[in-house]
Structure 1
Amino acid sequence: MNDGTGNTPAPAYKRVMLKISGEALMGDQGFGLNPPIVERIAREVQSVHDLGVEICMVIGGGNIFRGLQGSAQGMERTTADYMGMLATVMNALAMQSALEGLGIFTRVISAIPMDQVCEPYIRRRAVRHLEKGRVCIFAAGTGNPYFTTDTAAALRANEMACQAILMGKNGVDGIYDKDPRTNDDAKRYDEVTYDEVLRKNLKVMDAAAIALARDNDLPVIVFPLDVEGGFRGILAGNGTYTMVHG
């Protein structure tokens, strides 16, 4: 990929937050982790890391346990949410293993202290890791129940001074007014404002995350994670995606 002169163009962003769902790691097996899928996503991250981009990550835990579902089945909500946070730590450790297998130094940083397996969240230390070229995977959400990993991604992206949040999705290439997998007449947006997302309830991120991005003028880019080279393509201005901005 070059600009026609033989030179690789500078990436659009120097520091980004990649948010992916836990379900993205399980492939078609319906539960848990699918190691080949984890390795493929790690290679996508490697391709962007090779451009010199500083990368933060937040991974959901829905492939292992989703707090809201546990609550709906009668479990006390706070306990269910803490269990979901622990699931995100498991996913983060799996991604760390895959990235370090590719030679990329990675730190898992947890909002809930568990020093034997990962670092506690200290903002200045995390920034220093990024400056040294390490991938930082933020786990355990915000450390608080009732907040999703979407909100954690928006929070950490702002704290780390990321220039954009990239939402990697499976099976869709952007934001639609309705689910394109079940509605043939679904309309796709190339760009949309934060307020439209909230007003039309477009299900990009939860409302708290979108509001946090809006209040800090942080663009959110929704792109297909299951397209090879999709993550790197966004940094070069290529590919299909939807941008949420002001």
Structure 2
Amino acid sequence: MERKSFLKSLLLGAVSAPVLLTACDKEDTVTPAEGSSDTGSGSGTGTNSGSCTVAPTETEGPFPTKSPASYVRSDITDGRTGYKMTANITIGNTNNNCTSLEGAIVDIWHCDAEGNYSEYGGTNMQSSNYQSVHFLRGRQVTDANGLVSFTTIFPGWYQGRATHIHVHIYDASGKSLKVTQIAFPEGSGTALAAVNGYDKGMSGYTYNSRDNVFSDDTTGIQIATVTGNTTDGFELSIQLNVAA
């Protein structure tokens, strides 16, 4: 009970994401590859496993969670429709040979099937107004295996970006350790191909190699392993390493 009470107080009191003042240029200045036929590596898995490398630091983007400590939950679907997906994220510590980091606080957020984010909207950046809802955002604390799991949906996409998930990792005291993003495998036979952009299709989609966040990831360290299908749902797995 003492540990449970401690974690509850920790989660509610952890540092919240900063208030957005201006849109982050790294995410906003991407030029979409209209009609691109680039299908990426064609692999159904990422290549980051077994590599003790710190995860790249990336922008929070223009849509970070405004009060992340308010959304301590494993099921972040919150009524959004789409193909079910379980996101398993393991945090490793590069200061300890990338062994599992227990007690780390992990926030994730991503867009819905239509490419829209909760907590924002009604602007030129996102016309759909979802300022009063909080879907597809959540926080968990890593277990003894360094693992957090979220029940969510397979993300959609929006102009200028490849499909992705945002991640912010804190230590147990609430100190920020890493802001990064997770990419998805591309090509024939992958989950991305099976989902096919939901109702939007893939016309005008920006693939990882042309995405302004992922294009410099030559080793695939940010690409998750994604298995499953549209009938039974998908499972995403990735290890993200931080210096803790």
Pairwise same-fold verdict (TM > 0.5)? no
Larger helix share, 1 or 2: 1
- Provide TM-score, normalisation by structure 2: 0.27
Larger strand share, 1 or 2: 2
Q: Which has the higher contact order (CA 8 A, sep 6+)?
A: 2
